[in-house]
Amino acid sequence: MPWKRFSRASGGRTRPASIRSASVSASGRSDRHPGPLCALHRLILTAREPAQLRRELIDFGCSQIDPGSRIEIGGYSEQREQQDLAREQFRIGDCRPLDEVVSELLQMGEIPCWCTACYRKGRTGEHFMEFAIPGFITRFCTPNALLTLQEYLCEYASAEVQTSGASLIVAELAQLPEDASKSELLSRLAAIEQGQRDLYF
């Protein structure tokens, strides 16, 4: 589905932090109220939000999500399930690792995507809008999303996610028209499986 609106809004809420009293609570924006705002704006769901809220808001039009986030120095070199606020800027709400979030997105029928093709191809600003407003950008979005997912499955995914991800790719391919673009996509997906990387349209 092509994007209809491209405005971006910030609706951040304070979280307990190492320099604040532990008794300081979140700001007045509760987890019950962001839905109407999200329906009107392109949404980036950061790890500040709890997993349940992020799960509920995906279908409002989420365009970005950041799983596996760590915000302390050296955080990505350590394996800890709990945060240490003495070392971090603030408490995050969703500490799940990347593969767990990817698994959940696949179960929801979403395509986890790491695509940066538009930036690298220069499809930005007014040029991007020329593709986006009439919906032409979908010619690139789904193929590129599937290519990045294929690369993730080959490089980083658990066995369970490899299986569910491969099933989703097959299902998405079945919905694409039988044309030259699909043939090229199939060729690139096979190339990634054979070891090539960083393929995009």
Report pLDDT digits (tens) over 4-22. Answer: 333 333 455 556 665 544 4
The residues, ordered by sequence, that sit 6+ positions from 58 with a Cβ below 8 Å of its Cβ are: 45, 65, 105, 108, 110
What are 92's two structure tokens?
Answer: 């995050």
Q: Is 91 exposed, middle or buried (0-12, 13-18, 19+ CB in 10 A)?
A: middle
Greater model confidence, 31 or 165: 165
Sign, CA dihedral 59-63-66-67, equals: positive
CB 102 within 8 A of CB 50: no
CB 148 within 8 A of CB 179: no
- Provide Rg for the chain, Cα atoms: 19
So what's the pLDDT on residue 127?
A: 85
Tell me which residue has tokens 């994007």. Answer: 3
21-30, 84-93, 126-135, 143-152 — which is least confidently predicted?
Answer: 21-30
CB 165 within 8 A of CB 152: yes
Distance, in Å, from the CA atom of 63 to the CA atom of 178, rounded to the nearest integer, reads 28
The kind and range of the H/E element at 64 are strand 62-65
- The segment with the largest mean pLDDT, out of 14-23, 39-48, 97-106, 136-145, is 97-106
Residues 70-96 have a mean pLDDT of 78
Distance, in Å, from the CA atom of 138 to the CA atom of 155, rounded to the nearest integer, reads 26
So what's the pLDDT on residue 68?
A: 85
Residue 44, beta-bridge partner list:
64
11-15, 49-53, 82-86, 88-92 — which is least confidently predicted?
Answer: 11-15
Tell me which residue has tokens 């999200």. Answer: 38
Of 119, 124, 112, 116, which is closest to residue 6 (Cα–Cα)? 124
